[in-house]
Structure 1
Amino acid sequence: MFRTIENRLTPGPNTKKWIDPIFRVLISLIFIIGGLGHFGQHQMMLDRMAESPWAGTVDMIGDPSILLWLSGGIFLVAGLTLALGWMTRTSALLLFVTLVPVTIAIHVVPDSSHVGPLFKNIAILGALLLIWARGAGAYGLDNRSL
C-alpha cells in the first residue's frame, strides 16, 4: 500500500526537469534578500551582533561592520549566481562557508527564541551541500554549450 502511494507521488519527467531550477531559486532567495538586508539594515544587524555572546570573537576576527558588508556581498552575488546555476558549486560552497560563522555568531545563543532560526540555517546548510554535490542540474548556465 505504501509503495503504491509512493509510486503515485513520483513526479513525471516533465516535472522532474523543473525541480533543479526551482530548488536553486528558492534556496537562493534567502541569500539575495538576506544580503540586501546586510546593506539596508546594517546598523540593526550590527546591534544584533553586539548583543551576541560571540561578539568578542567576532571583534577578534575583524571589524564587525566590514565583516557584515563582506558577508552581505557574498550572500547577494553568490545567491544570484546560484539562482542562475552559474558557477553553482563555487556559489554553494561560498554560501556554506559564509553561513556557518553567521549562524554561530547570531543563532548559537542561550536565547531559546533562536532555536527555529538556528535549525532553519542548519537545513539551508544541508541544501547547500546537496547543491554542491549535485551541481546546477537542469537549466543551469553551467550546462550550456559553449
Structure 2
Amino acid sequence: MGLTITLTLGALIAAIAALHFSWALGAHWPAPKGQPLAIYVTPGTRWPGRAITLAVALAIGAAAGVVLASRAKVPAPWDMLAAGAYFVVTLVFLGRGLAGYFPALWRRAEGLPFHRLNRAFYSPLCLAIGAGLAINVLIT
C-alpha cells in the first residue's frame, strides 16, 4: 500500500511540475482563450515571468523526485538527508495548503478568479498531498 501511495503522490507532484513547465513555455490553461493566465494562477494580475515559473517547475519536479526516491534504500548518512528532504517537501505542501485559508495573505487576489480557484482547488490539493505524504511515512 505504501508503494502505491508513494507512486501516486510522486506522479501527482510531477504532473503539477509539468503544468508549471508548460506555463513557462507559454501554455495558458486554465485561463479561457483571450484571458490572461496570471489572474487564474497567481494572486495578482502580472505574470511572474518565464524564469521564475521555470524555477518553480524545477523545484516542484525536485519534490516529485524526493517523494519517488523515498522508497530507495540509501546508506548512512544520506538516509538522514533523504528523510529531511521528504520532511521539508511535506511541510511545504501542508504550509501552502494552509496558507490558502488565511485571508490576509490573499487580499490582492480578492475579486480575481485565482481567489476562488485557490480556495476550491489549489489549497485543498496541497493539503491532500501534504497529508498523503505524512500518512505515507506513518504507514511504512
TM-score (norm 2): 0.55
- Residue by residue over 1:36-94, the C-alpha shift from the partner in whole angstroms, topping out at 9 and shown as x without a partner, is 222123232694334457227x88xxx44333222211221221231121524413523
User: Match for residue 109 of structure 1?
Assistant: 115
Gaps of 5+ in 2: 73-81, 101-105
Structure 1 residues 43-58: aligned runs within 5 Å: 43=26, 44=28, 47-51=36-40, 54-55=43-44
For residue 115 of structure 2, give the secondary structure of its aligned residue in structure 1.
Answer: coil
TM-score of the pair, normalised by structure 1: 0.53
> Which runs of no fewer than 5 residues in structure 1 stay unpaired?
1-18, 138-146
Q: Distance in 2 between matches of 1:52 and 1:67?
A: 14
Alignment check: 8 A CA contact 1:38 1:72 kept: yes
Query: 1:95 Cα shift?
Result: 5.7
Q: For residues 38 and 93 of structure 2, what CA distance do their matches in structure 1 show? A: 15
Structure 2 CA distance for aligned equivalents of residues 95 and 48 of structure 1: 27
Query: Which residue of the partner structure matches residue 59 of structure 2?
Result: 74
Aligned to 1:120, which of 106, 121, 125?
125
- Pairwise CA RMSD: 3.9
Instruction: Decide whether aligned partners of structure 1 residues 53 and 66 sit closer, same or farther in structure 2, where only a CA change above 3 A counts.
Output: closer
Q: 1:110 to 1:20 in 2, by over 3 A?
A: closer
Question: In 1, Cα distance between the equivalents of 2:132 and 2:10?
Answer: 10
Question: What's the % identity of the aligned pairs?
Answer: 7
Q: May I ask how many residue pairs the two structures share in their alignment? A: 111
Structure of higher CA gyration radius:
1
